[in-house]
Chain A
Amino acid sequence: MVTYIIRRLIWAVVMLTIVSIITFGIFFLVPRLAGATSESLAARYVGRTASAEQVKIAADKLGFNDPLIVQYGRFAKGIVAGADYDYGPGVEHCPAPCFGYSFLTRLPVWPDLMDRLPVTLSLAIGAAVIWVIAGVATGVLSALRRGSLFDRAAMGVALAGVSLPIFFTGIVSLVVFSYGTPFRITAPGGSFTPFDENPAMWAYNLILPWITLAFLYAAGYARLTRAGMLETMNEDYIRTARAKGLSERRVVVKHGLRGALTPILTIFGLDLGLLLGGAVLTESTYSLPGMGKYAIDAITNQDLPKVMGVTLVAAFFVVFANLIVDLLYAVVDPRVRLG
């Protein structure tokens, strides 16, 4: 088990390194293909009043003229050990983990990201709790009462749920429950109260995004759970469990659901990981100041260091979530760690 964990940890680190190399490479190359020069990149750091000579010096000092591999090395070193940014007028130290300096605000990216993280965490985890409970429960009930009115209604709603984009349901939910006069039950989007400040306000501000986001995912999970349950409930071991005289409840929960849940666990890991890296669409629909909104704003302003930072942190969450899922698998199913 220990070797398995170590192997998985090493692979996670390798994967993050590869992701960071590819990300860096693409964000290094694409602007250059598009006609940006070292000087035009450096100009964004030194301000508009700088002379051409000053910009040139800054570009040299910031290392924009170095080959890709040297620049990546410096970037990677910054993350591990911190870095000093020297753009002409002054030197600024950026402590580890340093994801670079924003072109626009000239502030280090990392503290910004950490400010945004609680918003995305609250949004993703709150919604995840709702969608897992609602989705799995609906799926199980549908499978057990296959063909019933409940099953058909639930699967109809679920199919609609997976076919609706969140930015459409989001706007509609805002119009109906927030801006609108008929059922004004919650605050308009855009406000976030930290949990430790006021838990009630925290939930009040997030309830609408939670439900909209959870509906979308719950629909998919209900469909998956139903399909999985229909398959496992036909297995021989279910018949054996019934033959042993176990209560139906025990058969369904302990034997049926357990078998059906393993594929759902994998998908849950991926979904949650992707969401933690920035629920871009939800955050921009509800104007929540999370990492996804940060990414969108950074892209609108062509602020590459910020974009790099968000991409890497997001990749970290995906890799991390997958790692947890793999380790959970190894605990549940001994074949995994041997294989």
Chain B
Amino acid sequence: MSEFLQRSVEYLPILLQGAWLTIQVTVGSLILSTLLGLVWATMRVSGIPILMWISASVINLLRGIPIIVLLFYIYFVMPDLGLSLSALQAGIIGLGIAYSAYQAENFRAGIEAIDRGQIEAAESMGMSWWLMMRRVILPQAFRIVLPPYGNTMIMMLKDSSQASTITVAELALQGKLIATSTFQNATVFTLVALLYLVMCVPLILLVRHFEKRGQK
């Protein structure tokens, strides 16, 4: 045990650097996926056929491509097309785009769960589509969407480890590097797992809070 602690003290600074990158990737891609997801979802419920078609196609395309392939594409293929990104940028954009499809479906479900009567009440007082979204639909959808949104946050935190495949030295990759150079697999990966868990706990509590509030 004391050996474990001793090594932990030795590896932790490096792993914490990785954890910091994990947080950057997660927060960045969370923001991007939320914004893009809102765009897809709004297009999907707009009632305008071309926008609905585009949104549905994009969502299905993204759902059909593994995140890792998307990351490779952005990091290794885009430079050929003249767009070079740093590994961190590519990781954030790749994960953000990949997750925007799931965010969009979540948002759409929330919007479509709103009672039809709410839309009619808003329409019958002369609201425009956008005013109705802003004042009536989205505030109500927001509460419905929060618990699944929290779950997506947790999944994104863990999936940020996929950015390691394009050399983002986040927590999982740092762990692997230390493990290969020291052969202390058990110690290193136990620490890595603990660090992920520690980062997840606040999110898990947040989801529970959302769920409790949603029941009221």
Whether chains A and B associate is no
